[in-house]
Structure 1
Amino acid sequence: MANIKSARKRVIVNEQQRVKNQAFKSSMRTVIKEYEKKLNNNDIEAAKNLLPLAVQKLDKAVSKKMIHKNNAARTKSRLQQRLDAATQ
């Protein structure tokens, strides 16, 4: 453990932020998995309702610099492509 007071505080704050980031990433992945599960079960309407939520979570992760913007763009594109393929 650090000896300097500010360094001790940074350790605590970093741990708190790590836990918050971990929880947010987990919720983002959960929404994406639910979306894919709906598509696999041919529940197109439910998938259409989940897509905006998944996109919102991805955009928020980019704004918080949790994931790279190209990673989010690629993921959103793939999610949309799967929906388009399922509706045709």
Structure 2
Amino acid sequence: MPNTRSALKELRKAERRRQRNRAIRTRVRTFVKYARQAIAQADLEAARKAIQEAYRELDRAARKGVIHRNTAARLKSRLMQQFNRTFGPVQAAASA
């Protein structure tokens, strides 16, 4: 239990931030999962769309400081590697 009013307020703020960050992180995981599933099903258009949405969520989370920017970059790179292994680099160039 916090000893001062300011510590109590910081506790409330930290809890709000924790819940917000948790929601953003869950959203990122969901969109990355959708992208991986679309790639696994070898559906080119769905994979392109899912990767684009996953990129958007990763960038947003990194911009807000929920995940580190290098973590976002690594996940984006791995998604594109999976895409290229499935569809070939020529298809990836057309989607970028």
Matches within 5 A, 1:8-87: 8-87=8-87
- State how far apart, in whole Å, the 2-side matches of 1:20 and 1:66 are: 9
1:56 Cα deviation (Å)? 1.1
Identity %: 36
What is the DSSP-based 3-state SS (H/G/I as helix, E as strand, rest coil) of the residue aligned with 1:42?
Answer: coil
- State how far apart, in whole Å, the 1-side matches of 2:65 and 2:82 are: 26
- State how far apart, in whole Å, the 2-side matches of 1:39 and 1:52 are: 12
1:3 Cα deviation (Å)? 2.4
Runs of 4+ displaced beyond 4 Å: none
| TM-score when normalising by structure 1 | 0.91
Gaps of 5+ in 2: 89-96
What is the DSSP-based 3-state SS (H/G/I as helix, E as strand, rest coil) of the residue aligned with 1:31?
Answer: helix
Equivalent pair of 1:39/1:83 in contact (CA under 8 Å): yes
Count residues in correspondence.
88
CA-based RMSD: 1.1
Equivalent pair of 1:44/1:86 in contact (CA under 8 Å): no
- State how far apart, in whole Å, the 1-side matches of 2:74 and 2:23 are: 22
1:29 Cα deviation (Å)? 0.2
Gaps of 5+ in 1: none
